[in-house]
């Protein structure tokens, strides 16, 4: 077993793959047109868990092709993490933040 990357209490198990939000954060931060703000929305379709990654463009790149950025992020997540997911690239400042300015990173909509 390899070294745990990130906090083990933040780990999500998606279709048998251990997913740490910090893995997605690293991918989002490595793209020059994204702001670094992201959110993981986890849902369950039947018996399968699904993940949607929401991320924001930087204000300076708000006019860039979001579909190309989305495909790049989707491909990196598939390669680096090993899961397929939907990626929604949103305009700047569209991910809801708390009063102190932090985005809620994981929104788990699966029934407990």
**Domain coordinates of the chain in residue numbers?**
8-108
Cα-based torsion angle of the residue sequence 100, 81, 44, 97 in order, rounded to the nearest 10 degrees: 10
Closest of 2, 91, 77 to residue 40, by C-alpha: 77
Name the pLDDT band for 5 (thresholds 50, 70, 90): low
Task: Return the pLDDT at 8.
Answer: 47
The whole-number average pLDDT for the span 89-103 is 82
Contact status, residue 85 vs residue 79, Cβ threshold 8 Å: no
What does the pLDDT read at residue 108?
87
Beta-carbon contacts of residue 44 (< 8 Å; ≥ 6 apart): 50, 109, 110, 111
Q: With 60 as the cut, is the pLDDT of residue 47 above it? A: yes
**Could you tell me the pLDDT band of residue 9, with boundaries at 50, 70 and 90?**
low
Residues of the chain with pLDDT > 90, as a percent, come to: 60
Q: Give me the CATH code for the 8-108 domain, please.
A: 3.30.300.30
Beta bridge partners of 38: 55
pLDDT band at 103 (very low <50, low <70, confident <90, very high): confident
């Amino acid at each position: 077993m390899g070294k745990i990357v990130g906090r083990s209490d933040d780990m999500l198990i998606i279709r048998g793959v251990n997913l740490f939000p910090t893995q997605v954060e690293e991918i989002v931060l490595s793209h020059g047109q994204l702001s670094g703000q992201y959110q993981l929305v986890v849902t369950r379709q039947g018996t399968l868990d699904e993940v949607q990654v929401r991320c924001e463009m930087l204000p300076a790149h708000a006019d860039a092709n979001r579909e190309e950025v989305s495909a790049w992020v989707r491909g990196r997540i598939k390669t680096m993490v090993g899961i397929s997911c939907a990626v929604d690239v949103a305009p700047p400042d569209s991910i809801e933040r708390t009063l102190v300015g932090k985005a809620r990173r994981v929104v788990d909509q699966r029934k407990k």
